[in-house]
Structure 1
């Protein structure tokens, strides 16, 4: 199947034609060399948007001609393009460790992806983790295809007014300015999939985002043949009420699985990143039933073996729950197709299948439809075993089948230029692609002076950035900004202020905090955002 990209403009000089291929591959989001390339084209726009695709569509013909005649710029472009080709075609960690494993790409479902500021389809940690997961799979060569939603507004942007009150803004995501391209079929038509909603058909357009070796496919309900309300289903991330949330999760799970089938993919493993995506297990079972001629219960057992559920929520209130009547209303057409009674469907989302009043819990559905469940740290795994006890009556809590895989990060996306230079000199550019134990000898050769200077430069950059921020400008705030010192130990706390995120963590041990802050010869400064 051909995935034809938008053509941003026809007047790119031949010497710069490969800028298109670089702009549409989000590998630039973890490359300091790419930062330098796009900054040279339009420094102010790069600083404010970090969006190469936008820069490529707005740069003037005169500036393009200047760059085409700039030998240094052409050399940098060639360097990045050769690096990209080598990264996409070279041997990978996965192929070295597992050879021809015969594994079809894992289907990865998530409600949000934090890949770059240029693609604002995320709100917080879940999306950032998903974005880092895609980048890491690309770097390691793990076969994976990701599914998500293309939001017209995404999550809100925040600002502060003169009194320090938070303001919420919802800027429009113009898809032609995002590093995403329409998915087209062999005839050049925009690929669409459909869902059966009560009394109507919902049409969904498909977009793709290239993240190195990984493709992220995004579904968009803003189709001209949908009615106005349905076009807004993919309007906001985590916006609206329960009905909109249910619609979005049907689009993600049911629509996402149908998109994979339209693309000709047959995943052996389906990874649900949070319960939002749990409807995928139902659609996968329905498709198996249709293909193999089984009943639905058999299909669910057969497909369950290939489903994995990762839970991130540490409190039961964080699970999405829907009123049974709402689920019946929206899933009735699907149940008819699947040969499944609505009551049997509702039972899959309940701890007590006989309680007709119990809400439909998406986490319960994910567990009923998955062979493996994991939390995101050792402690969270223990907490999750307590949360999921209702599904395993009379089981000892320690034996509730929930494991853990500790969250990681895609380090190249987060290290500073100074850090990257130091670690590259010590451990090579590919340092993060093997076992960390192998880095120990190289890291031990870095002197304390080099480490301290690197950390000092990073703190200097942080302090300068904070001083440039505009917002709550009362005198006390201005005084605090003036006394920030780049040479002082800095403790940062930047999290969403939700109860379970422990915003009072700094005060957990008052005596220890007082001891830290009371040493004039060893000052400490706090940055709380």
Structure 2
């Protein structure tokens, strides 16, 4: 009989198990294996079925099993112990920020905006590396006890579930999340759910607010799927990176502008705003609007306060990763904003364009750069690339002075560390090893771990990975209707005793997942060597609109089915954090071969060393900094101007050569017949050099001390007395802009007897005559800019201010003079320049005005 009504029955949690309810609603459990173990033990089969979701375990566990556990002394002891650790963590008095707070300029929270957050596979509001980085950033902020708040969107359909069909082609399957099955809670005010309204064209979009506890940190999530909205508005937050440009701009308005409105509704005033990638850059516009209204400021005066307290992190040099919208779309969505803010649309539009050779579209990255005084890339190399990439935003400013710094990414070690290695560290490094995560000297102790223990622990994890890979591949092939004979072959795929290399990431074409297959004959020999074979495990998703990436996946799948290759190559579909943990913890070697320099940082390879893994990577992103010639291997040369075809050729040849001549022989050389001692030395070197440096505790500490506290200090200068300093700075900038074109450098004289024979260390006098027009000379700096030179540029320049010595003369020029001292031999170049200067400038070049001698 068809039921008249269906409903869900949830078990009653016995009183003795009540601590589980508190643990489940704080995703501290996502980086504490003992906590996850408590939920897994309720029903291991159900645990895997619900994708390791603690909250679903409590919703679906049998009542009898919960009663049984409530009477199990061993389980209750572990529950009590874990709960005490949880409470101790939350209440710990000696955290980094508690010890620093008295001397920190931070008096309010840091608001961290990101389009995605990857905390755990059971919370699918992330797509890949950016989200995982955001999640790890939050976890480290919690560990450090920073006053930190995250903001994102709550996606009804998450990203997408990947399925590989019988042709090897990626298919996207939509998720449909029930938010009551996630560890989120409605935000309420006076007992009612909080609904904010975000203006969008000629309507207001209703946005519901949820929250998630991440240790000591709160993440707020914005959701437009509410009955008050029409269908099209309910769909805005349906899917991460879904839809078209229209969907994207709407999502980014909700994220940025909605996030600021949410804080106002909650009566929270963040002191610093951190935009993680340009998706949230519209927050600057909402902050400016609110500052104008609350303090009766002009647009540009309000901008000074907002920009001083904004931090922006750019994550990609790939153009597709930097959102941009057409003039018509921006006018459609922001004409009303411009009218309300007293700024013309043309002036507004320049905030999303370069100063030199602007593209027609409005760039979210440029908006973030123009409305932030603190910006960074995510590795030292990416900082350099970003300064060159966005140099046209700062007309005439040398790339070395473009105000984009760098903070190299890290990973949250506890999240990605195998519990088996955690126990090993506790035994041989000490119970307090977690308190020394950034202590490089401390990590030298890994040599105290006996080689046989290190090796046996790693081999155990690799064995588990092989079993896991076979199980996942078997399920995939069974779903595609493969024959029993084909399914039986899966049991012979991979081998626990073979050198195992992993490759898992987003299948963007620049990451070159198929570089390995460029020489099939050499690959065949590597895989099938009778004494020293190699095997590979792949995983990763391509964006649903990226057919090039899907074709790469299809090529990998083809090799997993080809005779002579199929037993040594596996592809695990639907890559997520769980698959990632299995791979990071189980493979011997991690392969990373992007087209340099398009890998901004990369973090997957950072997750290997704490688990005994080693990196084999192109010298791109973080590996440029970490590689010391003893802790892994570098593919190819540091090519800076080779075309992609040339790079592919060089890197493929290097990859095969390294594997054949160095890596494979080292792995299989066992002097005592049991242990590859030289390989274990590389494991130890990798562990002790990478682990203490490439972690989010170091990374977030660096953000706090170099960016958050500086932003808070800058904000404190502009906010007193109804933002009087901001208004004065804006007026000064307007005057400088209005008159700057009157500045010219009429003459430069360099006092050298023979330009071809200037002795090292001898002072050289430089004199310049400068015409200022209506610009006050006290508001500029006249500087000699000199250094070693090639045919086109001054390299590694030195800047020497010149002093006013005469004038004005009959033409109105002032004379400036100073001395430079060449520090080395070689060809030197020299120019003179004029730049505006004020004690209230947070960035040296924030006015984007500079005049050079010709």
What TM-score do you get using the length of structure 1 for normalisation? 0.92
Q: Deviations over 1:17-42 (max 9, x none)?
A: 22211110101111111122001222
Q: 1:399 to 1:478 in 2, by over 3 A?
A: farther
Q: How does 1:391-470 map to 2 (within 5 A)?
A: 391-428=393-430, 430-434=432-436, 435-469=438-472, 470=475
**In structure 2, C-alpha distance between the alignment counterparts of 1:433 and 1:95, rounded to whole Å:** 15
1:221 aligns with 2:231: no
1:53 aligns with 2:55: yes
Q: How does 1:14-413 map to 2 (within 5 A)?
A: 14-48=15-49, 49-90=51-92, 91-97=94-100, 99=102, 101-103=104-106, 104-185=108-189, 187-352=190-355, 358-413=360-415
Deviation at 1:353, TM superposition (A): 8.8
**In structure 2, C-alpha distance between the alignment counterparts of 1:393 and 1:505, rounded to whole Å:** 39
2:502 pairs, out of 471, 492, 497, with 492
**In structure 1, C-alpha distance between the alignment counterparts of 2:164 and 2:525, rounded to whole Å:** 33
Q: 1:464 to 1:99 in 2, by over 3 A?
A: farther
Q: Deviations over 1:153-173 (max 9, x none)?
A: 010100122332222111201
Q: Deviations over 1:35-76 (max 9, x none)?
A: 220012222221232111111122233232222222222222
Rg comparison, structure with higher value: 2
Q: 1:320 to 1:481 in 2, by over 3 A?
A: farther
Q: 1:465 to 1:282 in 2, by over 3 A?
A: same
Deviation at 1:314, TM superposition (A): 1.9
Q: 1:397 to 1:183 in 2, by over 3 A?
A: same
**In structure 2, C-alpha distance between the alignment counterparts of 1:504 and 1:339, rounded to whole Å:** 53
Is 2:112–2:275's contact at 8 Å kept on the other side of the alignment?
yes
Q: Deviations over 1:190-240 (max 9, x none)?
A: 112111122211110000000000100000001111111101100000000
**In structure 2, C-alpha distance between the alignment counterparts of 1:409 and 1:509, rounded to whole Å:** 34
Stretch deviating more after TM superposition (514-523 or 133-142): 514-523
Any idea what SS the aligned residue of 1:41 has? coil
Deviation at 1:10, TM superposition (A): 8.5
Deviation at 1:174, TM superposition (A): 0.5
**In structure 1, C-alpha distance between the alignment counterparts of 2:347 and 2:313, rounded to whole Å:** 24
Is 2:314–2:378's contact at 8 Å kept on the other side of the alignment?
yes
Any idea what SS the aligned residue of 1:393 has? coil
Deviation at 1:259, TM superposition (A): 1.0
**In structure 2, C-alpha distance between the alignment counterparts of 1:310 and 1:275, rounded to whole Å:** 8
**In structure 2, C-alpha distance between the alignment counterparts of 1:261 and 1:433, rounded to whole Å:** 37
Q: 1:159 to 1:517 in 2, by over 3 A?
A: closer
Q: Who is 1:471 aligned against?
A: 476
Q: Who is 2:789 aligned against?
A: none
Q: Who is 2:833 aligned against?
A: none
Any idea what SS the aligned residue of 1:223 has? coil
Q: Tell me, which stretches of 5 or more residues in structure 1 are unaligned?
A: 1-7
Stretch deviating more after TM superposition (267-276 or 397-406): 397-406
**In structure 1, C-alpha distance between the alignment counterparts of 2:384 and 2:66, rounded to whole Å:** 57
Deviation at 1:423, TM superposition (A): 1.5
Q: 1:427 to 1:453 in 2, by over 3 A?
A: same
Deviation at 1:79, TM superposition (A): 1.4
Is 2:470–2:490's contact at 8 Å kept on the other side of the alignment?
no
